[in-house]
Amino acid sequence: MLRKAISLALAVALLQGGVAAQDQLQSPTQSVAKMQKVLRKAQEKNKAATVVLMKKIDSRKTLSGNVSDISDTGFVVTDQKTGARSQLLYADVREVHQKGMKKGEIIAIGVVTFVVFIVIYLSATGQWVRD
């Protein structure tokens, strides 16, 4: 019985991750207010932001770098490696997010890791087969 419950929990966790990834791929554009919030947060923390564009600019679909000059119509992204500045309008941007993993991703990895360790522990101690 315990084996079935753990198998079901693992299957649900894996399916949940697949659905979340698919939702991210099909996400509509962010609102300008949400973009400004993310951009200001990245600027305050001096962290890089990733900008997903509506259409390719200079054969790139995304830009990454430090954010500056945030206004009501657009903002500037400075590439960390090359120093190239890109002036962008909100109308040309699909979404903006800070680099790094999101809290939900970190929690999901922790939960899956915990379940895997429980499965390993139960199978090593022989408690796994006591259905």
pLDDT at position 28 over 70: no
Q: In which order are the strands placed within the sheet that holds 49-57?
A: 85-89, 74-78, 60-68, 49-57, 93-98
Residue 5: pLDDT band (50, 70, 90) is low
Task: Tell me how far apart the alpha carbons of residues 73 and 70 are, in angstroms, rounded to a whole number.
Answer: 8
State pLDDT tens for residues 59-115. 778 888 999 889 889 999 998 888 889 899 998 899 888 876 677 888 889 899 998
CB within 8 Å of 9: residues ≥ 6 apart: 115
Beta strands at 93-98 and 85-89: parallel, antiparallel or unpaired: unpaired
Residue 11: pLDDT band (50, 70, 90) is low
Main-chain dihedrals φ then ψ at residue 82, nearest 5 degrees? -95, -20
pTM for this predicted structure? 0.55
Query: Which residue matches tokens 């929990």?
Result: 9
Query: Which residue matches tokens 């991210």?
Result: 24
Mean of the per-residue pLDDT values for the chain? 79
pLDDT at position 23 over 50: no
Total residue count of the chain as it appears in this document? 131
pLDDT at position 37 over 60: yes
